[in-house]
Amino acid sequence: MAIKHVLSLDIPIVLNKCILRISDTGIYDPLLPAVCPTLEITPPGFQDASVLTSLAPNFTANLTACDLGIQTANCDNYNNDLSDGVYIIRWSLSPNETVFVEYNHLRISAALNKYQEALCCIQKAFGSAPGQEALKKINEAQFIRTLLDAAVAEVEYCHHPKEGIITYSYALSLLEKLLCNCGCGTDCN
């Protein structure tokens, strides 16, 4: 019987705009050493990966902009938001060039925060007994959430990151418009 590790990561969607959560869900053969564990993360807009070698198998990490090297000052007092977009995430063991798993992860935390804001705005504008106009806005919000889910699927499952970003951008533009139509938008020109 062949001895081998089966590498796997879980990268859940989180609403915290400062945190990228990654959990190791791999299966490790106890007879085979797990040597040189390396997590590489390339944030959107960057060419070079942030390399983390301090993690051990079965980790759960809540990574910040400081951990990724995006924020270099005031890390003890404040965490900058991590931008939405496609993060390339690679987890490997020695020999790292052949024992690895790699993911394209579409982060949508900022968009989901805006989505929650839109739901609150709809509730505030139309009250607890929604009429036709409120139902129309709720349907718009549900359509936008479906577009965000479709963008994630395009990036993470269909392996089409460019198309996923196009869908994400379209959903975000609809979300801004919905916020403006409800009276809660900040960029309503």
Record the tokens describing residue 108, joined without a space: 């949508």
pTM above 0.85? yes
For residues 112 and 30, give the distance between their C-alpha atoms in angstroms, rounded to a whole number: 40
Record the tokens describing residue 143, joined without a space: 């359509």
SS3 91: strand
CATH assignment at residue 87: 2.60.40
Contact 123, 105 (CB under 8 A): no
89 burial level (CB within 10 Å; 0-12, 13-18, 19+) = buried
Number of domains in the chain: 2
Least confident among 52-56, 75-79, 133-137, 147-151: 133-137
* Domain boundary pick from 61, 76, 107: 107
Q: Do 53 and 72 belong to one domain?
A: yes
Q: What are the pLDDT digits (tens) for 146-180?
A: 999 999 999 999 999 999 999 999 999 999 999 88
* Domain boundary pick from 107, 131, 150: 107
Number of continuous H segments (helices) and E segments (strands) in the chain? 3, 7
SS3 143: helix
Q: Do 79 and 117 belong to one domain?
A: no
What distance lies between CA 29 and its chain's CA centroid? 30
Least confident among 46-60, 68-82, 119-133, 170-184: 119-133
Q: What are the pLDDT digits (tens) for 22-34?
A: 999 999 998 888 9
Q: Is residue 95 part of a domain?
A: yes
